[in-house]
Amino acid sequence: MKVDDPELYYMEGFPVPETPAPGEDPKPWIETFVIGKPLPRVDAYQRVSGSAIYPSDVSFPDMIYGVVVGSPHPNAMVERIDTSKAEKMPGVRAVITGSTAGADLTWKWPYGNSKSKLFDPHCRFEGDAVAGIAADTPYQAADAAAAVEVQYKVLPFVVDERKALDPAAPVIHGKDNHVGKPDTYERGDVNKGFAEADVVLETEYRTECLIHTPMELHGCVARWDGDRLTIWESTQGVYPVQQDVAGVLGMPLAKVRVIGHYMGGGFGSKLQAGKYTVIASLLAKATGRPVKLFLSREETFLSTGNRPPSNMKLKAGVKKDGTLTALEFTCLGTGGAYQSGGISLVDWLIRDLYTCPNVRCECNDVFINAGCARPFRAPGHPQGSWALEQTLDALAEAIKMDPVDLRLKNIPLYSQARAGDPPYTTTGLKECIEKGAAAFGWKEARKKLSQTKQEGHIRTGIGMGACLWFVGGGRPPSTIVLKLFSDGSANLNMGASDLGTGTKTVMAMVVAEELGLKIHNIQIENADTGATQYATASGGSKTVPTESPAVRAAAVEVKRQLLKIAADELKTDVQALTIRNGEILSSREPAKRIKIPDLKGLKQRGVIVGIGYRGPNPSNKWVNPFGAQFCEVKVDMRTGEIEVVRFVAAQESGRVMNRLTYDSQVIGGITMGIGLGLTEMRVLDGNETGKMCNRNWHDYKLPTALDVPREIVSVPIDPGDTEANSTGAKGLGEPVTIPTAAVIANAVYNATGIRVTETPMSPVKLCLMLAERDRRK
């Protein structure tokens, strides 16, 4: 980037915010000059040109390659492993199994209390680790993996959660396949609520299992230096990986350094270490060489997480005036072969999104012989939304009300599902629905569609839905160290990972806003447990609201010290000083001004260090993002082909920190929602083998660039949240994908009169449903 890039005009000459007195918190920004602008990513050039070094790019001259030998069966006992052939193969340097000294380790599955061995003799899902191999080239390693002779006792399997509780189903853990007691929630009295209702509807829904498939594969490079282990891992959080690896290997945290400057996507599947991380570390130790171990694309489909399938039933009651009287929800889900949150948060929207006095939820999690779930962009929410938003749509129709009005009738101002009914700091739900509807032209489109009889077999339909996201307010801890060097450039030290969402860019903008620095003079060092500050993983849409207030606090601290030095040198009152264009000037005495690099005090010190912490969230209030989405589809009434024509997303995620990265999240979230709604599903061979059929990118159908609707309009709603935190930002990345699939389903219903209650809505399903309806007519 050129130093005086004219596109960065807004960096020039703007006043920086007032400096709070020592001990005081900064006030909310009133006018911003950098924050909110559509600034390209600070590392865009590196990412696009390929010069960014991702963990997959890390390389050392003496590095060798690791592979994991995985079970080809969904349920099998390893009876014998013969590695002798593999060990003799060219280039092979180490083969480890559960009986290798030091590899007989306990593995704790991340979301629950399940434990197994790292190399467990009972492989309860396809792809679970049986052995690890390191060789000089990836090809030699793969060949050696094929030469490991494993004698399995193949056991009967169950890969469909709907069959897991059948008496004949093989039991994966414990007495039956229940993970635990049902997860229940109740408020009010649903029976009373249904009795009060004018209309009661009950519908079953199902969402399929989705795989994260981020661009960068799961894996790492592990290298030992004496008793110190360094891991370059593609991860959403270097500190959680450090903790997991240290835990499994019994090492002090301080001896495990995890680095992940760049990472190519995770969507929730990279919030912790994988078995691959530990296996790479063991192989590196055994060989005395750095070991690179990245799973293959196919392996990542099996063992690195998924959005679990949900089988839901929702019964809902409404009065003629649109008052919701009762919601009763059940769900059967599965986290796979070990406890992994198979039903986690599926019912949250039923509990909390709309005002309803009587709610009952019961969710059951069962084991199946398939890979474990991991958080997946808004865990549970798109599933629950699939049921709730479609049900609301059906209720609206039943009472002849506009679905927009039905939702507006039931907007809560506080969180009903949390103890003590805490209010939200802000809820933009109403505004999202209203402004989104206006931007979409909802009323007009509805009127037009109801007045015109559609000819031909291509029918237009519109649909809408709303959402909130369970968290998204961020939280402590976070520590930021900001160093201002004597030439006026700054170094921002932050533990958090940038998932590709633009975290680094947003943080540089906060520093630029506070100190008046140019973005390209701010260097960010992040995601390194050895060299950056403690941070929790980037997940839950918490990174911006967690880190940006800490960054702001650090910048304010630097500013205080800087102005103090300047006040001494200019012999003036610090209160009167401000910064503009890299110059410190007095508002009272125009002659008193000095450029930052000319400050003698700063030259002498060499650096000003400001430390910022993330303070607590407001007590007794909740910080949640909200949203509403609207779409138009065209449906071929004969073939069941669905074209998503346009989308409007009105999202309330507090302050818009960067309009460009904000809109990118909206587009990405909607695209992912289109995948859930229209094309994606894990297919397991339920009959003969229990193996996954579609473990690649053409059988597992992700939306591609060509599937993104031409028109996606992002309508940011910012009610000015002054309580959430000092930057007023809330999470965005997850809420943007929550209602999308249901919104499309509502539009498809509007076009066809057919309610598709199971994902994905491809012609495979819809064509048959259309034909069956025609037959009945």
Task: List interacting residues with other proteins (CB under 8 A).
Answer: 72, 138-139, 142-143, 457, 636, 638-641, 643, 678-679, 683-689, 691, 693-696, 698-699, 701, 703-707, 760, 762-765, 767-768, 770-771
Regarding beta strands 490-494 and 324-336, do their DSSP bridges make them parallel or antiparallel, or are they unpaired?
unpaired
Q: Are 731 and 625 in contact (CB under 8 A)?
A: yes
Q: Which is nearer to other proteins, 83 or 296 (by Cβ)?
A: 296
Q: Are 327 and 359 in contact (CB under 8 A)?
A: yes
Q: Which is nearer to other proteins, 24 or 688 (by Cβ)?
A: 688
Find the Cα–Cα–Cα–Cα dihedral 750, 755, 759, 764, rounded to 10°: -90
User: Minimal distance in Å, beta carbon 676 to other proteins?
Assistant: 13
| Closest C-alpha to 435, from 624, 650, 629 | 650
- Give phi and psi for 711, each to the nearest 5: -115, 105
Q: How far apart are CA 73 and CA 67, in angstroms?
A: 18
| Closest C-alpha to 672, from 307, 345, 311 | 307
CA atoms within 13 A on the CB side of 168: 3
Q: Which is nearer to other proteins, 65 or 224 (by Cβ)?
A: 65
Regarding beta strands 593-595 and 583-586, do their DSSP bridges make them parallel or antiparallel, or are they unpaired?
antiparallel
Alpha helices of 106-200 — where are they, by DSSP H?
Answer: 138-147, 190-196
Q: Which residues lie across from 712 on neighbouring strands?
A: 647
User: Minimal distance in Å, beta carbon 770 to other proteins?
Assistant: 7
Q: Which is nearer to other proteins, 454 or 639 (by Cβ)?
A: 639
Q: Which is nearer to other proteins, 209 or 512 (by Cβ)?
A: 209
User: Minimal distance in Å, beta carbon 458 to other proteins?
Assistant: 10
Whether omega for the bond prior to residue 760 falls within 30 degrees of 0, making it cis, is yes
User: Minimal distance in Å, beta carbon 760 to other proteins?
Assistant: 8
Q: Which residues lie across from 232 on neighbouring strands?
A: 221, 259
Q: Which is nearer to other proteins, 51 or 696 (by Cβ)?
A: 696
Q: What tokens were used for 475? A: 């939280």
User: Minimal distance in Å, beta carbon 644 to other proteins?
Assistant: 9
Specify the length of the chain in residues: 777
Q: Are 3 and 520 in contact (CB under 8 A)?
A: yes
Strands, DSSP E only, in 113-157?
115-117, 122-123, 129-135, 149-154
Whether omega for the bond prior to residue 477 falls within 30 degrees of 0, making it cis, is yes
CA dihedral sign of residues 763, 766, 771, 774 = negative
User: Minimal distance in Å, beta carbon 618 to other proteins?
Assistant: 45
Q: Which is nearer to other proteins, 134 or 565 (by Cβ)?
A: 134
Regarding beta strands 711-716 and 64-70, do their DSSP bridges make them parallel or antiparallel, or are they unpaired?
unpaired
User: Minimal distance in Å, beta carbon 753 to other proteins?
Assistant: 16
Q: Are 718 and 655 in contact (CB under 8 A)?
A: yes
Q: Are 305 and 374 in contact (CB under 8 A)?
A: yes
User: Minimal distance in Å, beta carbon 464 to other proteins?
Assistant: 22
Q: Which is nearer to other proteins, 253 or 768 (by Cβ)?
A: 768
User: Minimal distance in Å, beta carbon 67 to other proteins?
Assistant: 10
Q: Which is nearer to other proteins, 178 or 206 (by Cβ)?
A: 206
Residue 423 is classified by DSSP as B
Distance set, CA 136 to CA 103, 133, 144, 279, 297 (Å): 21, 10, 11, 16, 21
Residue 79 is classified by DSSP as E
User: Minimal distance in Å, beta carbon 124 to other proteins?
Assistant: 18
Close Cβ partners of 358 (under 8 Å, ≥ 6 residues apart):
187, 188, 189, 190, 192, 193, 194, 325, 326, 327
Q: How far apart are CA 235 and CA 529, in angstroms?
A: 12
Q: Which is nearer to other proteins, 133 or 623 (by Cβ)?
A: 133
Assign 3-state DSSP to the chain and report helix, strand, coil percentages, each to 5.
Answer: 30, 25, 45
Identify the three-state secondary structure at position 324: strand
| Closest C-alpha to 233, from 256, 207, 210, 200 | 256
User: Minimal distance in Å, beta carbon 637 to other proteins?
Assistant: 9
Identify the three-state secondary structure at position 777: coil
User: Minimal distance in Å, beta carbon 456 to other proteins?
Assistant: 11
User: Minimal distance in Å, beta carbon 76 to other proteins?
Assistant: 14
User: Minimal distance in Å, beta carbon 301 to other proteins?
Assistant: 11
